[in-house]
Amino acid sequence: MAIVQSVNIGQPRPIPAKSAMTGIYKEPVGEDQQVEITKQGLAGDAIINRKHHGGVDQAVYIYFADDYDFWRKALERDLTPGTFGENLTIGGVEGRSVAVGDRFEIDEVLLEVTSHRTPCATFAARMGSPAWVKQFFDAGRPGAYCRVIEPGPVHAGEPVRHRMFEGDRISVSQLLALEKHRDLEPEFMQRALRTPIHYKMRAQYEEKLAKLF
């Protein structure tokens, strides 16, 4: 059974070697501590750069335990929950196969996957490696951004029901890989528009298709 291994929130901290602040440094809360998930994200969690982070279609970021296992071996070091800036660390789900439209039920909370995570310079600074962006792309393990369908409290140790999207399955790994391609196939964009994909990606695909037809 899938389970919430950790609930993680962050406070503003400076980005290494820069003057700007970031909320990427997440720390697990106590196992007996409930955290409220709202339509905008987790209560008490810092979101600094709202141009690229937060918002209703990426209110909650999930990373998966099997992806952590991969990175612990690849990096040959221990990684604690929250290292990747995720709000929820979930075990018992194959992260790479998670697709847009998949839903996660955690008691009364209901989350819906909208997109993948794109690595950035802040993420690289957090990981202490200028090569991190390429390494993250190459691994194809981006985790999942979610919108909040039903808000409510969560805590570590709660069971998670993974409900797979029944339409065209477009995985978060596939979306990450396609970022390297400037020209997307019209058929793929049409498929994506039949899923509950992130509103920004929806607008981009609709604009591109409108120019083609």
Per-residue model confidence as pLDDT tens digits over 50-98: 777 789 999 999 999 999 999 999 999 999 999 999 999 999 999 999 9
Specify burial of residue 74 (Cβ count, 10 A radius: 0-12, 13-18, 19+). Answer: exposed
On whether the pTM is more than 0.85, the answer is yes
| pLDDT tens figures, 15-64 | 887 778 999 999 999 988 999 999 999 999 988 777 777 899 999 999 99
For residues 83 and 17, give the distance between their C-alpha atoms in angstroms, rounded to a whole number: 19
Q: Count Cβ atoms below 10 Å from residue 34 Cβ, excluding itself.
A: 15
Q: Are strands 88-91 and 60-64 parallel, antiparallel or unpaired?
A: parallel
Q: Alpha-carbon distance 72 to 85, whole Å?
A: 16
Domains of the chain by start residue, with CATH:
2-180 (2.40.33.20)
Distance CA 21, CA 173 (A): 28
Maximum distance among all Cα pairs of the chain, rounded to whole angstroms: 55
